[in-house]
Structure 1
Amino acid sequence: MTTLALSPTARPQRAVLRLHRPALTLWGAFLLLAVGALLWVHLFRAPAERHPVDQYFVLTDVNNVMNFLGDVLSYVSTAVAAWTGSALIGRELESGTARLAWTQSVTPARWLTAKLTAAALPLTAGSTLLGLVFAWVWTTDQDVLVTNWSWDRVLVPAGPMSVALVLFALAAGTLAGVALGRALPALAVAAAVTYAARYFFGRTWDDIWPDRHFWPVQLTATAVLLALTALALAAAFTLLGRRTNIKGAAV
């Protein structure tokens, strides 16, 4: 009998997971802390507000904690973009690690696909989990929370927009890394672009569409972000293909 060999696509994906294991560990730790903090709000702080000893301080406390968590979760995409542009793509192009991989029967397109797949799966799963838990806590404890759904600290993390923003951040970081080929410039550009997207899509929608409600806004923003994500990824693959073809012809 012969042993089954790993598929060509699986090999680069396993290499990516090994290379970026610290980042995946950090992401897992962040998920545990964020989910734990949300559950703490639901199980301890919200009930304490319903039967307060000092109503002013308890109310301030539970809202401050929930608002802080909403702000943190809504800006996760900016950190993802910075990491993607610098560590995932830019650093490997800058150091020549990517070109070394391309000489070992891994095409540039397969290399980039493996990078994106290995990053997208845990990021999508994790941001989906955070969105579901945040939405559940905010909805269940609405009687003790004063934040309106249209405020960005609720609107962004409480629905599919949060997942779309993370995927857009991954695409923006990828495009910046491929276009610039250097870690630090790609980090700065990707983070700035994603921050701008988060600000625009998370701004107070009452001032833009006063007659809109939560789900129409969420679905509209998510659709636009996914379209931008597809465009950024298409541009990244096209640019990578052109650059590697030019270098290959020069050699």
Structure 2
Amino acid sequence: MSAPTLRPPSDPAAPSRPAPTPLRPSGLTWTVLRLHRAALLVWVAALLVAGALMTWLYVIGPDARAAVVPCATPPTDGLPDCATLRAIHTDENYGVGLDLVATALSYLMLPVAAWAGAALIGRELENGTAQLAWTQSVTPVRWLAAKLAVPAVLLTVGTTTAVVLHTVARRDGNGPLAGAWYDPEVYASTGPVTVAYALAGLALGALAGLVLRKALPAAGAAFAVTLALSYLMQALRPSLWPTTTITGRTALDLPPDVLVLEHGVVTSDGRRIGNDLACVGSETQDQIRACMKNSRLSDFWATVHPESHFWPLQLVESGVLLAVAGAAVAVAFTVLRRRTA
């Protein structure tokens, strides 16, 4: 028989220990994520859908490429039947899928800017949530820094992943199915400019929210400004890097991976005329000589951006966009300090 365990009587005057509370995430980062969890879930869902789509496009890429080979009706000389190839539709699905992803990535900055102006900043200033946080342990500067840093990290990681998957899904060598590197939407969705555009949209949207302090006007202003920035950069893009000038008869037969900015001729008296397509349709050397003689031409030239200029153009444009984002952030902090001083 075991002896009973004796416990000392509890002292009613002794302070009771509170039950331990479970650890929960805290801090400004968690607050931003919790407050904007709906946008976070939409962002994650969009990335998952885009990732699944681009994985499927990568898988069907070889079949799509095989569907655009030369054909004949009826099939002859080893060429497949054209009707059979047209019935596959893999190339159409592949092209439509790539266009859809490219468009979404190219204009990602627009919904990002509208959301940043309306939900991230404008709505909190309009309903007083931000002012309430400032009266507690969070300073306005820390509040804005967290508001910008958390979505900036999520946008950078997610957009970079989407760009990499999109580039892989395009598969080098798919030719007209994947589009030329200089096509506006292809260019804006296959390099670092995609991330830079998203960050610029975030910064401009936050600035609009701080200036206007109302959700809907800030969303509209941010959308309009980022759209104007997109069109401006597209217009300035060819001048962001020095062009290459090709002379001689090579200028008449440029490869499809070259962005032609201007094409012209040199007359027999030495005058250079731009945007003159004389003799472009000539196929043989004799036809070229005859055309040059009849047109009184001495040479041809073309100003182009070869495919090797893709990365220099991307890096310069990304630098410009990040400078815009940095300037917008600096102005946003200046506006915040003046209004809370």
TM range (shorter): 0.7 to 0.9
Q: Give the residue type in structure 1 aligned to 2:40.
A: L
How much has 1:74 moved relative to structure 2? Answer: 0.8
How much has 1:24 moved relative to structure 2? Answer: 0.5
Alpha-carbon deviations, 1:141-180, whole Å to 9, x = none? 5346251101111101100000000110110011000010
Q: Give the residue type in structure 2 aligned to 1:122.
A: L
2:63 paired residue number: 48
Q: Report if aligned partners of 1:160, 1:222 keep a CA contact under 8 Å in 2.
A: yes
When residues 238 and 12 of structure 1 are mapped into structure 2, their CA distance, relative to the original with a 3 A threshold, is same
The count of corresponding residues between Structure 1 and Structure 2 is 237
1:3 paired residue number: none
Structure 2 CA distance, aligned partners of 1:147 and 1:51? 16
How much has 1:200 moved relative to structure 2? Answer: 2.9
Q: Report if aligned partners of 1:86, 1:177 keep a CA contact under 8 Å in 2.
A: yes
Alpha-carbon deviations, 1:73-114, whole Å to 9, x = none? 111111111100000000000000000000012111000011
Q: Report if aligned partners of 1:171, 1:233 keep a CA contact under 8 Å in 2.
A: yes
Alpha-carbon deviations, 1:16-72, whole Å to 9, x = none? 11101111010000001111111111102x232234442484433321221121011
Q: Report if aligned partners of 2:64, 2:94 keep a CA contact under 8 Å in 1.
A: yes
**Range 56-65 or range 101-110, more displaced:** 56-65
Q: Share of identical aligned residues, percent?
A: 42
Structure 2 CA distance, aligned partners of 1:144 and 1:35? 23
2:110 paired residue number: 78
**Range 60-69 or range 110-119, more displaced:** 60-69
Higher normalized helix content (fraction of residues) = 1
Match of 1:26, SS? Answer: helix
Structure 2 CA distance, aligned partners of 1:134 and 1:181? 37
Higher normalized strand content (fraction of residues) = 2
| 1:164 pairs with 2:187 | no
When residues 134 and 36 of structure 1 are mapped into structure 2, their CA distance, relative to the original with a 3 A threshold, is same
Structure 2 CA distance, aligned partners of 1:20 and 1:224? 29
Scaled by the length of structure 2, what TM-score is found? 0.65
Q: Report if aligned partners of 1:151, 1:202 keep a CA contact under 8 Å in 2.
A: no
Gap regions ≥5 residues in structure 1: 1-5, 246-251
2:305 paired residue number: 211
1:103 paired residue number: 135
Structure 2 CA distance, aligned partners of 1:210 and 1:189? 36
Q: Report if aligned partners of 2:209, 2:215 keep a CA contact under 8 Å in 1.
A: yes
Structure 1 CA distance, aligned partners of 2:163 and 2:332? 28
Q: Report if aligned partners of 1:59, 1:144 keep a CA contact under 8 Å in 2.
A: no
Match of 1:54, SS? Answer: helix
Matches of residues 81-160 of structure 1 in structure 2 within 5 Å?
81-140=113-172, 142-143=174-175, 145-160=177-192
Structure 2 CA distance, aligned partners of 1:202 and 1:30? 26
Scaled by the length of structure 1, what TM-score is found? 0.87
RMSD: 2.2
Matches of residues 160-199 of structure 1 in structure 2 within 5 Å?
160-199=192-231
Q: Give the residue type in structure 2 aligned to 1:27.
A: W
